[in-house]
Amino acid sequence: MLLSRSPSGPKKYFPIPVAHLEEEIRVRSADDCKRFREEFNSLPSGHIQGTFEQANKEENREKNRYPNILPNDHSRVILSQVDGTPCSDYINASYIDGYKEKNKFIAAQGPKQETVNDFWRMIWEQKSATIVMLTNLKERKEEKCSQYWPDQGCWTYGNIRVCVEDCVVLVDYTVRKFCIQSQLPDGCKAPRLVSQLHFTSWPDFGVPFTPIGMLKFLKKVKALNPAHAGPIVVHCSAGVGRTGTFIVIDAMMDMMHSEQKVDVFEFVSRIRNQRPQMVQTDMQYTFIYQALLEYYLYGDTELDVSSLEKHLQTLHSTAAHFDKIGLEEEFRKLTNVRIMKENMRTGNLPANMKKARVIQIIPYDFNRVILSMKRGQEYTDYINASFIDGYRQKDYFIATQGPLAHTVEDFWRMVWEWKCHTVVMLTEVQEREQDKCYQYWPTEGSVTHGEITIEIKSDTLSEAISIRDFLVTFNQPLAHQEEQTRMVRQFHFHGWPEIGIPAEGKGMIDLIAAVQKQQQQTGNHPITVHCRDPDSLAHGGHQEGKDEQGCTGQRRGQVMETGQSQPTCGTGGLEASGGSQQDLPTLGLLSRLSRGCPGSAPVGSSSTARRRSS
């Protein structure tokens, strides 16, 4: 086993049994992650034991993106020489071991314009079938990687012809498939299929807010990589930070399965002897632990649609080692998701708490909807609303509370500024003689809120759904704004009883189908979804408002992307919970939704909250 070899010197950090992982992370996270920083700073740099003669040769210096990120001589990838040219065998890339597999990965820098040909030569010579890309081409206006593939058609890079076969864009990553073939007169001529998996949700600074997207991405990498292919080529910009993070998570997940423990410190120490500075920051080091804990606690919740019916039967039966049915156990996992109150500073300002229908429901700062600031008026950029991802598109939904009388202007400003053409309402204006939502539209004629006028054009009832069309006019357009009016359609779902949950899933499926058709006609601007207030939260009960909204964001995201074969029945709630404090359905609602799945449109993944650069 490759992991058993330890670097020289006394060992300060020992393997962690998975059963103790949560507690160990809690201890390390105290005092602003002080112990994580201490552990990270105890890692060997990797420079001491290596030599870098080839990387430092004059002919090779321009091939390095960063002068201080160089491959060790003993572990560098050596290319075949081109026409006997000295140093044409050099590329800034290193072999990296996996948990048990020697040279499972190649860690590389993001190709420079002058090294793209070498990059494809490496892919061909190493018989690699999978490329993992963990950077965007530009971040903060700085080039991080040259585009080394054609957008469409074919292009020849040196002696390697690359043709685009397919491209699938999802919310956290893009999968591109290339057919590559050598153009050399001798040697193997048979074309090969290469998959590039491009993770697009790594923020310009720091690490992803949640590891869920990365775990799904890593699962896809494992699924697409053929069993007998060459090393998986992993690159970011320098080929050490995000690249090292990805490789360590992969290896430790394998160790978790094999030994029921993880040894992050040992593994990072070892791979730093193969490529210095692997895992570059303490934030990345901490993120590795967070990803491993996420995987241990919640596991893999994706399943193929063909196995959905069997999975639902399992959820409704009692497992041998549990005193709860599977659905209750799955719901228990959702309720254990930690609410990160430290990331709700804006919503907890006194001026903004007055805008909350219920003060316990506050949006996170990282994905809150930001309005334009009114001149001379503080806090007017705030509304109690959160962006939520769909399956393919970021920020596909806006999840918000039912407007209050003093926030209705902000509601319409949000609809206008974020170009929403679709509003989904999941409550009545009054229920059980209690106000649940201010009526923000006119019954007839028009009404003006601030600078926005709303005129009702039609109001029709179709079974359990009222469909209202509004002509929305912005009364004070700026010079650069051509559009002054816009049609907005509201879908008002009446199928939610005042107490409990809908009796069947058909009404919700019909609602989703109607919204989907509207989106196809108006473009993929955010869908605004709102419900009533979670009034029972104050009495220690379940969160009624979030029952509705969390469910709809979840189901809407699932059914929206038709033709997908992998629904997510567990992480939907987990990911939606990143949107606001607890966008989670109740157990009864989860059960009802699960019964509504068979026979509905093919489902994808549910909504995902993402970090926003605000």
Q: What is the pLDDT of residues 184-205, one digit of tens each?
A: 887 677 999 999 999 999 998 8
Mean pLDDT, the chain, rounded, equals 85
Lowest mean pLDDT across 250-254, 433-437, 466-470, 579-583: 579-583
Q: State the greatest distance between any 2 C-alpha atoms of the chain, in Å, as a whole number.
A: 86
* Residue recorded with tokens 């007998």: 228
Both tokens of 212, joined, read: 């869920």
> What is the predicted pLDDT for the residue at 568?
53
Selection from 386, 340, 312 nearest residue 607 by Cα: 386
Q: Given pLDDT bands bounded at 50, 70 and 90, which one contains residue 522?
A: very high
Selection from 501, 440, 449 nearest residue 474 by Cα: 449
> What is the predicted pLDDT for the residue at 593?
43
Residue 593 CA to residue 506 CA, distance in Å, equals: 10
Selection from 445, 466, 449 nearest residue 414 by Cα: 449
> What is the predicted pLDDT for the residue at 11?
58
Strands 430-431 and 434-435, by their bridges, are: antiparallel
Residue 90 CA to residue 525 CA, distance in Å, equals: 47
Q: Given pLDDT bands bounded at 50, 70 and 90, which one contains residue 300?
A: confident
DSSP state of 405: T
* Residue recorded with tokens 């290319």: 79
> What is the predicted pLDDT for the residue at 335?
77
Pick the CATH number of 2-297 from 3.40.50.720, 3.90.190.10, 3.20.20.70, 3.100.10.20: 3.90.190.10
- Helix (H) or strand (E) holding 116, with range, is helix 116-125
Selection from 170, 606, 576 nearest residue 393 by Cα: 170
Residue 452 contacts residue 475 (beta carbons within 8 Å): yes
Both tokens of 61, joined, read: 């210096």
Residue 527 contacts residue 498 (beta carbons within 8 Å): no
- Helix (H) or strand (E) holding 166, with range, is strand 160-169
Give the best-scoring range by mean pLDDT among 95-104, 315-324, 521-530. Answer: 95-104
Residue 545 contacts residue 496 (beta carbons within 8 Å): no
> What is the predicted pLDDT for the residue at 316?
83
Whether 149 has a pLDDT exceeding 80, the answer reads yes
Q: Given pLDDT bands bounded at 50, 70 and 90, which one contains residue 6?
A: very low
Whether 564 has a pLDDT exceeding 80, the answer reads no
Evaluated on CA atoms 57, 62, 65, 67, the torsion sign reads positive
Whether 9 has a pLDDT exceeding 60, the answer reads no
Q: Could you read off the pLDDT of 109-145 as tens digits, one per residue?
A: 999 999 999 999 999 999 999 999 999 999 999 999 9
Q: Given pLDDT bands bounded at 50, 70 and 90, which one contains residue 565?
A: very low
Angle, alpha carbons 479-484-375 (nearest 5°): 55
Q: Given pLDDT bands bounded at 50, 70 and 90, which one contains residue 595?
A: very low
Both tokens of 565, joined, read: 């074969």
- Helix (H) or strand (E) holding 512, with range, is helix 506-522
What contacts 237, CB < 8 A, 6 or more positions away? 65, 109, 110, 135, 139, 144, 145
Whether 613 has a pLDDT exceeding 50, the answer reads no
Residue 340 CA to residue 305 CA, distance in Å, equals: 33
In the chain, % of residues over pLDDT 90: 66
State the span(s) of the chain assigned CATH 3.90.190.10: 2-297, 386-596
Q: Given pLDDT bands bounded at 50, 70 and 90, which one contains residue 578?
A: low
Q: 386-596 has which fold? A: Protein-Tyrosine Phosphatase; Chain A (3.90.190)
Q: Could you read off the pLDDT of 12-49 as tens digits, one per residue?
A: 799 999 999 999 999 999 999 999 999 999 999 766 67
Whether 1 has a pLDDT exceeding 70, the answer reads no
Whether 64 has a pLDDT exceeding 90, the answer reads yes
| Buried b or exposed e, range 526-562, using 16+ CB within 10 angstroms | bbbbbbbbbbebeeeebbbbbbbbbbbbbbbbbbbbe
Whether 93 has a pLDDT exceeding 90, the answer reads yes
Alpha helices, DSSP H only, in 260-392? 264-272, 282-298, 308-315, 326-335, 350-353
Whether 480 has a pLDDT exceeding 90, the answer reads no
Whether 598 has a pLDDT exceeding 50, the answer reads no
Q: Could you read off the pLDDT of 369-394 as tens digits, one per residue?
A: 999 999 999 999 999 999 999 888 89
Residue 563 CA to residue 560 CA, distance in Å, equals: 9
Residue 338 CA to residue 88 CA, distance in Å, equals: 52
Lowest mean pLDDT across 1-10, 410-419, 511-520, 540-549: 540-549
DSSP state of 325: B
- For residue 382, what are the β-bridge partners? 370
Residue type, 260: Q
Whether 547 has a pLDDT exceeding 60, the answer reads no
Whether 302 has a pLDDT exceeding 70, the answer reads yes
For 157-162, what is the mean pLDDT? 96
* Residue recorded with tokens 């590329």: 91
Residue 526 contacts residue 418 (beta carbons within 8 Å): yes
For 147-167, what is the mean pLDDT? 97
For 205-209, what is the mean pLDDT? 91
Selection from 580, 564, 573, 562 nearest residue 607 by Cα: 573
Catalytic residues, by residue number, are 236, 531
- Cα 152–chain centre separation: 26
Q: Given pLDDT bands bounded at 50, 70 and 90, which one contains residue 498?
A: confident
How many helices and strands, by DSSP H and E, does the chain display? 14, 24
Q: Could you read off the pLDDT of 346-371 as tens digits, one per residue?
A: 999 999 999 999 988 999 999 999 99
In the chain, % of residues over pLDDT 70: 82
Residue 68 CA to residue 87 CA, distance in Å, equals: 19
> What is the predicted pLDDT for the residue at 313?
86
What's the distance, Cα to Cα, between the start and end of the chain in Å? 45
Both tokens of 234, joined, read: 């992993």
Whether 476 has a pLDDT exceeding 60, the answer reads yes
